[in-house]
A and B are shown apart, each in its own frame.
Chain A
């Protein structure tokens, strides 16, 4: 009897969650879309790398990029970003270091703008996140050796909008990234990012 009830509860969980999500989104569906957003990004942070033979070390990381988003709802968009990044070598402690590398980034992601945190007569503050996948083609410093790998990322952000200039906004993010490197036990990154965003078709910020 209890087992049957548990099965029913488990079976109903997913549809119930979907319904709740839909109910939350329906009022927002009337929000004005941004339609198109262009932007420039910059990120700095630390890579943490571990080879099966050696302990984890940190490597500083810098990235720049340009993005384009299709934003059919003010709170939801899909985007792509093309960028370039540089990862510096780690220290040589213990007689080994993780190599520096640099290369191209291509990202596909979903942009979510969760809620308006604060507002004044001049400024608006939003909370959101970008999450998606990245494909990278890098080369090791001082070599012509190129390698490819995939990754996933989550970039929670604060977005500052200008009331009197709704086409422009600025983002401050905390990017978390995980890379699927086949020759490493661990390759992950955390840092700080900034972006300037231009949405030429946004006439006003949504209520």
Chain B
């Protein structure tokens, strides 16, 4: 007779515990090191380059989040954010990081497009785009292809490049995906017919073109399209894209799993820019939209705060 209550208690305990056991067995493994190189330039050394207001703040704020979440982060701003220093910082990461680790590169500052005719190699997406770094006494334009080469030397399988600068969409080297958001956003998207024919053409002509940052090497989150500018705002005290990227660490966990991936951060920033910034303007110049690399994978970026 006493056996029945014991059996009932045991069964009840198993039933109560089993969901937790299932949850434990589904726990996500994030057993890898995280590295970040974070650059932000508001003050340009060269006289002819206009200073910005908040790019250094963008870098500092993101660095604070990443450091607080266990990243080994190196932060350089203004006069310290030089091309030579970047080469050194990336080289150091390349020596320390392993194949399974995560690497993030962030830049906020001026971006540009080379329309002088230098351009991409044959098969590329036209003009080269670049980010503007300081040197000791001047400036250096780090092109999309050169940055792609530097990032390629980082041995990590998981790499995210985040650029809050004008023309930053030009750093994305999609070779299979047709982007419905045009390189100069005006509130609309590309038509179905154009997307279909472009996607078929890309599929049939797929090959390693070797320009920009290939999605098979790194995911690029770009503040704006290849042919448009990005903005900073006194209201946000940050670059507009950077502001919402920073917010995504808190509010960008779309699937509620406690983590924010690169795709989730991108989507959050893009939606917020559409809702909070683009609605203020009717002209195509002020409206802009972030872009992200194609490719089959997405990477962890933040713990949701």
Interface residues of A (CB under 8 A from B): 49, 51-54, 89, 91-99, 137, 139-150, 181-184
Contacts and interface: CB of A to CB of B under 8 A. Distances in A.
Nearest to A49: B296
B297 A98 contact: yes
A142 B261 CA distance: 11
Given A146-B177, A184-B296, 5 more contacts: A52-B216, A92-B28, A93-B29, A94-B100, A97-B261
Contacts of B263: 99, 140-143
Contact of B199 (A98, A99, A146): A146
Interface stretch (B77-85, B113-121, B178-186, B279-287): B178-186
B152 to A, nearest CB: 13
14 contacts: A49-B296, A92-B259, A92-B300, A93-B29, A137-B199, A144-B180, A145-B174, A145-B180, A146-B178, A182-B203, A183-B215, A183-B216, A183-B296, A184-B296
How extensive is the interface on chain B, given as a class? Answer: 35 or more
Contacts of A183: 176, 215-216, 294-296
Contacts of B176: 147, 182-183
A53 B180 CA distance: 27
Nearest to B289: A144
Given A98-B296, A137-B199, A147-B199, A93 B28 contact: yes
A168 B257 CA distance: 45
B225 to A, nearest CB: 11
B266 interface: yes
A143 B203 contact: no
B298 interface: yes
Nearest to B201: A148
Interface in B253-270: 254-255, 257, 259, 261, 263-264, 266-267
B294 A140 contact: yes
Residue in B178, B199, B296 whose Cβ sees the most chain A Cβ within 10 Å: B296
Contacts of A184: 296
Contact of A143 (B30, B196, B257, B292): B292
A136 to B, nearest CB: 10
A137 B254 contact: no
B158 interface: yes
Given A89-B298, A99-B263, A147 B178 contact: yes
B254 A53 contact: no
A152 B178 CA distance: 23
